[in-house]
Amino acid sequence: MDEMTPEQIEAETLARLDNLEAPDWGELVGVRSLALDPKIVGALARNAGIYREAMRLVAAQGFTVRYWDGWEGRSASYSLARIVVPAAVINHHTAGNGTSTSYIRNGDPLRGLSGPLANLHVLRDGTVWVLGVGYQNHAGSNDKACYDRIAAGTAPLDRDLIPGPDGTFSANRTAVAIEANGDGGSDDWTPEQTAVIIAINAAFAKVLGWAMPHTGAHKELTRRKPGDPVMSMGTLRSLVAKAMTPADVPVTPPPPPVPASVDFRLGLWNAHSYGAARTTRAGVTGFGR
């Protein structure tokens, strides 16, 4: 494709802003800045405050928490309706022990999934990477009835929920998504992973003022993901409930910082060719303050 003008880049990017695509598929051929809707910036800042406080509680217990550059402004979609206060924590395994954090962060272009694929990535040693604070491509289509029980804190403490068929609902915009490296075997999650996942689920419950865990799993949201993860969610929920007691006063997140500016850097890439035509893609490269 011929080189595009800045105006063409901006128009292309705006057209794709609702469903951004992974920005590192090919050669960067252009970049410019654009002011983003302050309401979207405010929603990202609000969520970043929630994540910052929850992960501070986790780190204070001695767990290793690392932050990917740009995590505070990162979402797999920049539609305002898709950047909401989380109502549940959905736990996954990656179906492999060596899944890279860059894959979870950047997405999967071959499956048409913009990144991140999860808000948090947990390595086998229990290290947690914080990747994004909004919509993430982790859940696909789901059984809303099961999701509603998880988000209401009424899922059972002694067993998994059994999902019905997928509907039109997806938990992608409403949940904190945790992907933990695990291949689905008998040691699907290591003891270090299980310990930090309990701490993360309990921390979000405290920060968001939930009286019971709003903890669930991918395998409880859809019949497409049996064994994702292997651990019994009844067991996990009861361990999270224990970690929440004695009941602390709910932690109030600090007010979101007021951004000094709302620049996004917009990029245009010559992407790899997946079909007959070489395609050009646009995306956000960074989140300025």
- Least spacing, CB of residue 153 vs Zn ion, in Å: 21
Residues sharing a CB contact under 8 Å with residue 234, sequence separation 6 or more, in sequence order: 156, 157, 158, 159, 160
- Least spacing, CB of residue 193 vs Zn ion, in Å: 15
Q: Which is nearer to Zn ion, 92 or 206 (CB)?
A: 92
- Least spacing, CB of residue 48 vs Zn ion, in Å: 24
User: Which residues lie near Zn ion (CB under 5 A)?
Assistant: 92, 218, 228
Q: Which is nearer to Zn ion, 175 or 284 (CB)?
A: 175
Q: Which is nearer to Zn ion, 104 or 244 (CB)?
A: 104
Q: Which is nearer to Zn ion, 204 or 264 (CB)?
A: 204
Q: Which is nearer to Zn ion, 172 or 280 (CB)?
A: 172
CA distances (Å), origin 105, targets 29, 64, 162, 208, 230 = 22, 18, 29, 24, 23
- Least spacing, CB of residue 218 vs Zn ion, in Å: 3
Q: Can you say how many angstroms the Cα of residue 287 is from the centroid of all Cα atoms in its chain? A: 17
- Least spacing, CB of residue 7 vs Zn ion, in Å: 40
- Least spacing, CB of residue 215 vs Zn ion, in Å: 14
Cβ atoms within 10 Å of 200's Cβ, excluding its own: 28
Residues sharing a CB contact under 8 Å with residue 65, sequence separation 6 or more, in sequence order: 55, 58, 59, 127, 128, 130
DSSP string over 203-220: HHHHHTT-SS--EEEHHH
What whole-number distance in Å separates Cα of residue 110 and Cα of residue 8? 25
Token pair recorded at residue 209: 């003022």
- Least spacing, CB of residue 184 vs Zn ion, in Å: 11
Residues sharing a CB contact under 8 Å with residue 146, sequence separation 6 or more, in sequence order: 155, 161, 162, 163, 164, 216, 220, 221
Q: Residue 160's closest CA among 244, 91, 87?
A: 91
- Least spacing, CB of residue 84 vs Zn ion, in Å: 20
Q: Which is nearer to Zn ion, 59 or 230 (CB)?
A: 230
CA distances (Å), origin 273, targets 111, 128, 256, 269 = 14, 34, 41, 12
Residues sharing a CB contact under 8 Å with residue 231, sequence separation 6 or more, in sequence order: 91, 188, 189, 194, 217
CA distances (Å), origin 286, targets 21, 69, 271 = 13, 9, 18
Q: Which is nearer to Zn ion, 215 or 280 (CB)?
A: 215
Q: Which is nearer to Zn ion, 48 or 200 (CB)?
A: 200
